[in-house]
Amino acid sequence: IPNLPNSCISAFSSTEHKVIIVGLDNAGKTTILYQFLMNEVVHTSPTIGSNVEEIVVKKTHFLMWDIGGQETLRSAWNSYYSNTEFVILVVDSTDRERLTVMKEELYKMLAHEELRNAAVLVFANKQDVKNSMTAAEISGLLTLTSIKDHPWHIQGCCALTGEGLPAGLDWMRSKIKAN
Ligand SMILES: Nc1nc2c(ncn2[C@@H]2O[C@H](COP(=O)(O)OP(=O)(O)OP(=O)(O)O)[C@@H](O)[C@H]2O)c(=O)[nH]1
Ligand SMILES: [Mg+2]
C-alpha cells in the first residue's frame, strides 16, 4: 500500500486492545485518561457520554473509552462492553459513603456476558488526599479476592501527579503477554 503514510500502516498492523474506564462520577476517570495521553492534568467537567483516546505504551496500543459515571448514565455502560479486554475501575478513595454503590455496580458489571473475558484493573485514586482509604482497605471492602472468573489487580494512584498510573499500565501489558 504505497500511498499510505507510515502512521496509518502501523495503526492497521498493530492490534488495538479495547479498554473501558468506569466508576462513579467524580472518581477521576477523565483525569486519568488525559494523564495517560499527555502526562498532564486537564480541567474536566462531568462526562456526558464518553471520551475515547488511543494510548500507546511501549508499542502496546490501547483504545480507551472513558465513560460518564453519573447515576443516570450508568445504565448505558453496557453499550460499551462488546470486545472489551480490560475494565479500568476508578474508585475515589475518599468516598467511603458510596463504596457500597460502587461494589454493586462492579458485581453487576462482572456478571455481564460481554465482559466474561475482561481483566479488571482497579485504581484506588486520590491517594494524595489525607485519610483516603488505602488500596488494601478498598480491596477488602470490595471483596476483590472473591473474584475468581476474571484476572484482577488493584493499584493505588493519584491522577493529579500520575503516581501509580504506569504501574497499572504495566500490569495490563503483562496480562496481554501472558495470553
Ligand atoms: N485530590 C485529587 N483530586 C483528583 C484526583 N483525580 C481526579 N481528581 C479531581 O476529581 C474531580 C473529578 O475528576 P474527573 O476526572 O472529572 O472525574 P470523572 O470520574 O471523569 O467524573 P464523571 O465524568 O462525572 O464520571 C476533578 O476535580 C479532578 O481534578 C486525584 O488523584 N486527587
Ligand atoms: Mg469524566
ipTM of the prediction = 0.99
DSSP state of 129: S
**What pLDDT was estimated at residue 177?**
72
Instruction: Report the candidate in 98, 106, 145 with the shortest Cα–Cα distance to residue 20.
Output: 106
CATH superfamily of 16-175: P-loop containing nucleotide triphosphate hydrolases (3.40.50.300)
What is the distance in A from the centroid of ligand 1 to the CA of 29?
Answer: 6
- The answer to the question of whether 27 is labelled as a binding residue is yes
* Residue 11 vs residues 15, 53, 54, 56, 112: alpha-carbon distances, Å: 8, 13, 10, 11, 30
Q: Which ligand is nearest to the CA of 77?
A: 1
Task: State phi, psi for 91 to the nearest 5 degrees.
Answer: -110, 135
In this prediction, residue 1 has a pLDDT band, given cuts at 50, 70 and 90, of: low
Q: Is the pLDDT of residue 60 over 80?
A: yes
More confident residue, 113 or 5: 113
pLDDT in tens, 94-138: 999 999 999 999 999 999 999 999 999 999 999 999 999 999 999
Domain boundaries, the chain: 16-175
